[in-house]
Structure 1
Amino acid sequence: MMKKMTRIIWNKLVLFLLLGLNSIYCFAQEKTNILLIFIDDMGYGDLGCYGNEEVQTPNIDRLAQEGIRFNQFYVNSPICSPSRVAITTGQYPSRWGVTSYISAKRDNKERGMNHCLNPLAPSVARNLKAAGYYTAHIGKWHMGGGRDIADVPMITEYGFDESVTQFEGLGERYLATYETLNLKDSTRGLEKQSAALGKGEIHWAKRENFTEIFVDRTLEAIKHAQAAGKPFYINLWPDDIHTPLEPPLALRGDLSTKARFQGVMQEMDRQMGRLFDFLRKDPDLFKNTLVVFTSDNGPDMAVNNAAPLRGFKTYLYDGGIREPFIVWWPDEIDKNEAGTINEKTVMAAIDLPLTFMELAGAEPNQNVKYDGQSMLSVLKGEKEILRKKPIFWIRPPDRPGYDGENNPDLAIRSGDYKLLMDIDGTNIQLYNLMQDIGESDNLVEKMPELTIELKRKLLDWYHHYPHDIDKTKYKL
């Protein structure tokens, strides 16, 4: 009798455990995995699928052929740190006192900037983690930690279960040895500064291997999520194709900037191909993963251009802020939509946190005013929708323009039109971006009423928006 009761209890316990494990597995499969790939300094025209005939990017081009390519996606700053704040928080970066790249303490103070993203700021990773996601940040951070700044939060404090970065973040990180090329634009001194800060395990590796390392660590993070029975949200933020341009030996060509740029692009694409193939070969990952591929700002003027757009990194012309944007989502994108191009929908980085939260069933922060809007139906290819809100920009305060050129202080995109201006009311420019992608035909005199309307909206936003910039030191 006792043996029978024991057997019954045991069978029920096994059944309970199996049902529990099955529930965990189903929970992981019901929620879509999200992989956000944020390339560094890659411009609108740097990919083959966006018209570049000199650079070979077959793996990324294939991602576009199997997904949807968007032609009107904007980041919310033309320089790295504030761009990363926007895509993390869903808010304009000036809300958090980050308007240019985070540098050393003295530089930040002179520019009226904070040394890091405030840990009280919203973080999409934190919301998704609360919704049951396994979260990881792999690659460049640049929202605090580095140079002479160690007294800032670790990356994991922003809602990540694990992190690994490079010299512009704290925690476990890889630092470059530059054993293969002695480049003038190397960050050798900054690597040594990072090592002196401590606060995390440090690995030294050749700069040419960093993208490979970060892809490897992304694959490990995916396996960690699978072992935990959870869906994942992963940032893969390589520090290519930012200078120093140090590709593997076989891809250096004549060692010119152009040859090295092309080599880094080719190697970055190859490593992305390994990751994409891994997702395709796993039936569950193939069915249930969203990949978003984009970049943080336009190209470095010394490296490449953003043709057919005007401007470069640090500029508020579209060359500094309009980026490639590819969505790969086999389970949701209809086969008839695969390989198509969305020409009409104007999206921004501040839209992605709300979009990811809606997809994940995560609750947005109730006390937070998000500046973006969810674009989930657009990512699925269900429709092309018009924005409900304009998009606004503030120029990095330390970047007034190159070679005497006036880089406007402010910009607004509303519908098909974009207006740029200085805050004193001068240097006003108005462009119809659907007819004039290169921003060459100033319509201010032809459309005075629209000019006045957009100028009023832009100045109203600027004067009522949190910002802390020393206008006596910079053109602003």
Structure 2
Amino acid sequence: MKKILYLIVYAFFLCGCAGIENKKPNIILIFIDDMGWADLSCFGNVDAQTPNIDKLESEGICFEQFYVNSPICSPSRVAISTGTYPQRWNITSYLAHRDLNHERSMVNWLDPSAPMLARRLNNAGYATGHFGKWHMGGQRDVTDAPYINEYGFDKSLTNFEGMGAKLLPLTKDESGKVGQIWKKAEMLGKPFRWMQRSEITTGFIDSAVNFIDEAVKMQKPFYVNIWPDDVHSPYWPPFEEYGVAKASGKRGLYLAVLEAMDQQFGKLVDYIQTNNELRNNTLVLFCSDNGPELGAGRAGELKGYKTHLYEGGIRSSLIVWGPGFMSEKVQGTRNKRSVFSAIDLAPSLLEFTGTKSPDSFITDGECHIQTILGEANSSRKSPIFYSRPPDRKNYYNFKNLPDLAMREGDWKLLCDYDGSRPELYNIVNDPGESQNLAEVHVGRVEEMTQKVVSWYRSMPVLETEKHEASNQ
């Protein structure tokens, strides 16, 4: 009898272990708005401290050559959400009023049939939630855009640039005077709640934590976006700090907002790091959607800012945290070699979760989950291609900016739509893009120019030339 009971208990133990081993991993994707490559203190910022985000870095991996796929908001968000170039969907700059979208040959919102990572995971049994900025449809006078849940999310809470439940920003200056930003945002769907902008990230995190708690109760894996817009202008730190920060100018306000954002992330970091179930089965990815605004954030030695195809506009500080999936020897390390981009995250995470995609599933990304988890140092085999926002030929004191760019291996090429005015940099030796080697490596320039021009011409958006007059 004892032997039978022992066998039953042992069999139950084995089944339990198999259940744990086969449990789907959880994913949290944190996407910051307009944060520079060097703005986190773990990436070298000495003017402000980000200790809570640094906690993720201390147990995770920092990637120094990670790229987003556009130097401006909406297309960057499309890329990371779909694993495809945003040019495929006619979203090449920030989505705005209907007339401006039309003027730039852009759609008013992302096609709901786009291959959303969230939808693929949702179909595979994941609870999916979006908390924060959306900006892929539903903004300004575009009130008939699809709601966020039509893209594969079970629940969402957004701001003034998305359809559905939202938190809308109030402001308070040093005198205590309260104001509103984007008053007409109420027309973009209900329910909505006004709250201080300096506290809205807490609102998003509270909702995300509640959503995660519910998913855990239902024993469902979760995929959660947390996309705050704190460090996008206008900058409104807590009003107790506003006067001192304002006296230091735009940079002072930005740094105060950056530190306030980090403080709000403390709740999320503590929540996942101290809960053993979440700690051992959750992967967190943290990066920014594009480079910084001039005079606010910084990209270190990298050239350029938000909207530019130079490194400062498109290189992003990626942190990946997941102690349950990483060996101890790679925790707290920096990967300075691997080159990959936001479009690679979707296929990597699908592979990570064991989620199969149909043969018709469109992707421009490559799977680099082994690199993401510190098991390899691979880079993209294919180049990373870019086209500039059509309304940004001259911006932030840069005149006649290049129209196209590509990164291939150690090399970076920039040129105009017709391949003229090439700039070539060995980006590993010259990350600041200070020494144009186009006249030295003529053959390489010809080869890379042909590739990037061919790529651009293969995309749907080819009406850029008619916008040039308005960009001068």
Q: By the TM > 0.5 criterion, same fold?
A: yes
Identify which of 200, 206, 209 aligns with 2:196.
206
Partner of 2:186: 195
Q: How do 1:354-393 and structure 2 match up within 5 A?
A: 354-393=347-386
Cα pair 1:187 1:244 within 8 Å, conserved: no
Shift in Å, 1:78: 0.3
Cα pair 2:35 2:297 within 8 Å, conserved: no
Cα pair 1:164 1:171 within 8 Å, conserved: yes
What amino acid does structure 2 have at the position aligned with 1:240?
A: D
Identify which of 411, 431, 442 aligns with 1:437.
431
1:226 aligns with 2:219: no
Partner of 1:473: 467
1:411 aligns with 2:405: yes
Separation in 1, partners of 2:375, 2:175: 50
Q: 1:53 to 1:175 in 2, by over 3 A?
A: same
What amino acid does structure 2 have at the position aligned with 1:410?
A: L
Q: How do 1:83-102 and structure 2 match up within 5 A?
A: 83-102=76-95
Partner of 2:283: 290
- The 3-state SS of whatever aligns with 1:418 is strand
List per-residue Cα deviations over 1:184-222 (Å, max 9, x = no partner): xx972x3x222023x320111111111111111111111
1:32 aligns with 2:22: no
Separation in 1, partners of 2:215, 2:438: 53
1:462 aligns with 2:452: no
Shift in Å, 1:380: 1.2
Partner of 2:52: 59
- The 3-state SS of whatever aligns with 1:301 is coil
Partner of 1:13: none
1:424 aligns with 2:418: yes
Cα pair 2:174 2:239 within 8 Å, conserved: no
What amino acid does structure 2 have at the position aligned with 1:95?
A: R
Identify which of 228, 235, 253 aligns with 1:245.
235
Separation in 1, partners of 2:84, 2:461: 13
Shift in Å, 1:26: 4.0
Shift in Å, 1:182: 9.7
- The 3-state SS of whatever aligns with 2:58 is helix
Partner of 2:162: 169
Cα pair 1:354 1:372 within 8 Å, conserved: yes
- The 3-state SS of whatever aligns with 2:412 is strand
Cα pair 2:143 2:187 within 8 Å, conserved: no
Structure 1: 5+ residue stretches without partners:
1-18
TM-score, scaled to structure 2: 0.92
- Percent identity at matched positions? 45
Separation in 1, partners of 2:355, 2:120: 6
Shift in Å, 1:332: 1.4
List per-residue Cα deviations over 1:345-381 (Å, max 9, x = no partner): 1010000111111111112242133101011101110
Separation in 2, partners of 1:120, 1:137: 18
Separation in 1, partners of 2:44, 2:295: 20
Partner of 2:344: 351
List per-residue Cα deviations over 1:54-78 (Å, max 9, x = no partner): 1111111221111000000100000
Shift in Å, 1:401: 2.2
1:275 aligns with 2:265: no
Separation in 1, partners of 2:132, 2:458: 35
- The 3-state SS of whatever aligns with 2:360 is coil
Separation in 2, partners of 1:279, 1:59: 12
Identify which of 288, 297, 301 aligns with 1:304.
297
List per-residue Cα deviations over 1:124-154 (Å, max 9, x = no partner): 0000011111000000000000211111110
Separation in 1, partners of 2:454, 2:464: 19
Separation in 2, partners of 1:284, 1:163: 24
Cα pair 1:80 1:100 within 8 Å, conserved: yes
What amino acid does structure 1 have at the position aligned with 2:405?
A: A
Q: 1:153 to 1:27 in 2, by over 3 A?
A: farther
Separation in 1, partners of 2:152, 2:169: 27
Q: How do 1:124-163 and structure 2 match up within 5 A?
A: 124-163=117-156
Cα pair 1:181 1:246 within 8 Å, conserved: no
Cα pair 1:38 1:296 within 8 Å, conserved: yes
Cα pair 1:29 1:231 within 8 Å, conserved: no
Shift in Å, 1:405: 1.5
List per-residue Cα deviations over 1:101-125 (Å, max 9, x = no partner): 0001001000000000001111000
Separation in 2, partners of 1:462, 1:157: 29
Q: 1:424 to 1:363 in 2, by over 3 A?
A: same
What amino acid does structure 1 have at the position aligned with 2:371?
A: V
Q: 1:391 to 1:453 in 2, by over 3 A?
A: same
Shift in Å, 1:28: 10
Separation in 2, partners of 1:315, 1:181: 34
Cα pair 2:95 2:109 within 8 Å, conserved: yes
- The 3-state SS of whatever aligns with 1:434 is coil
Cα pair 2:138 2:162 within 8 Å, conserved: yes
